[in-house]
Structure 1
């Protein structure tokens, strides 16, 4: 479609009919909510002439402004809603950049690098911001609860690195990607919902209720740890077969 003048409706219809299958490990919010919001954003960005890298930059602005507010604003119902909205918008724009690339005929190595670089930054920095925000603004200061965001940061970073490394090693040996498409099911996606980054974003609606937030946040961290423990065993077995 690159080089053609198209309407928003045409761009949206093209994206809707050309969606790739979701990865077997893709959780429900990312597949059934975030991708669809991203499709709306992608069609708008395309008719505006924005490049995938510009869309990635928009995603980063939303995400890192939301992260900064975790530290800057005292927890309240309205600050939690604002933070959640910014993080969710950033996540949706993150889905949109790849869709814009498909509308334009394909992405680039530089664009893929930028997308992954921003993802790696947000996954680690988000939880460190939670640590600082809890320490600065809540009664949890100097309690063991502050170990939860510290652990969550490590878990998220290691999981993301493991997925990228799996794909890199498999691609170098012409094997199927860890994120092979078309193998996901609704049941599997629903079971994996607690590991969804979108759910992590949503939990900030509880930011003004410190007790509720830290309990739900800790449960999500535990789910992420369980997923990493199980996935790492499977990934290692897959590497041994290459």
Structure 2
């Protein structure tokens, strides 16, 4: 039963990653747990769950880029992004229920995430251009956000790759996170980016909220890059 699968997942949960912000830990993971239990009972594979996540996310991205900028569509976009993010959490949990994941599944998950992160903000660029053709300076916000988000995600993956080669705990090692740290990192949470689209039909409000998240992402990357550079520099030091 779905309830049994949910309970099994709940018992198998590990501590969250040290760099995981609050929404991802305390909301999205639990939503993903529910979806994972349902998917497991339906016999879906982790890769199929990843595809479901991609369908939700890229449907939202297409609406951002090409659909009318209205309040109802903004709500739909936010819902699709939230569900896409929850399904993204569910694929790994389905793999756990089935006895473990695979390198192919991990590749697919990261490939979809990379494409989503890069294309989401470019879709915002297109959508804003359609409603703000005479204010090109504001279009710099999604351009900067796209660069920062893609660089941050790539940096995290590269950190884990290099640390793994040197048998050092990765950025996403489980069990190292704290509530305080998760709350501090909340402004950098992709879940907040999903929810900001409830303001999509109210362009001034959206720009303020979206711009604030962009500024938080820039600040996080600036601080994280210095930390990561120092950590990677120590990998070659003798023990």
1:114 matches 2:108:
yes
Inter-partner Cα distance in structure 2 for 1:60 and 1:108: 18
What is the match of residue 204 of structure 2? Answer: 211
What is the match of residue 187 of structure 1? Answer: 180
Cα displacement string for residues 119-147 of structure 1 (whole angstroms, at most 9, x for unaligned residues): 000001000000000101x1354420100
Inter-partner Cα distance in structure 1 for 2:29 and 2:212: 25
What is the match of residue 176 of structure 1? Answer: 169
Inter-partner Cα distance in structure 2 for 1:195 and 1:140: 28
Inter-partner Cα distance in structure 2 for 1:140 and 1:211: 14
Inter-partner Cα distance in structure 1 for 2:213 and 2:135: 22
1:43 matches 2:33:
no
**TM-score (normalizing by structure 1):** 0.95
Structure 2 counterpart SS, 1:38: helix
**Ranges in structure 2 where 5+ consecutive residues have no aligned partner:** none
Inter-partner Cα distance in structure 2 for 1:139 and 1:102: 46
1:146 matches 2:124:
no
Structure 1 counterpart SS, 2:99: coil
Relative to 1, partners in 2 of residues 1:142 and 1:24: Cα closer, same or farther, differing over 3 Å? same
Stretch moving more, 147-156 or 178-187: 178-187
Inter-partner Cα distance in structure 2 for 1:144 and 1:102: 46
Inter-partner Cα distance in structure 2 for 1:200 and 1:164: 20
* Aligned partners of 1:42 and 1:97 also within 8 Å: yes
Aligned length: 235
1:33 matches 2:30:
no
Of 117, 124, 149, 1:123 maps to: 117
Stretch moving more, 54-63 or 232-241: 232-241
Moved over 4 A (4+): none
**TM-score (normalizing by structure 2):** 0.97
What is the match of residue 17 of structure 1? Answer: 11
**Ranges in structure 1 where 5+ consecutive residues have no aligned partner:** 1-6
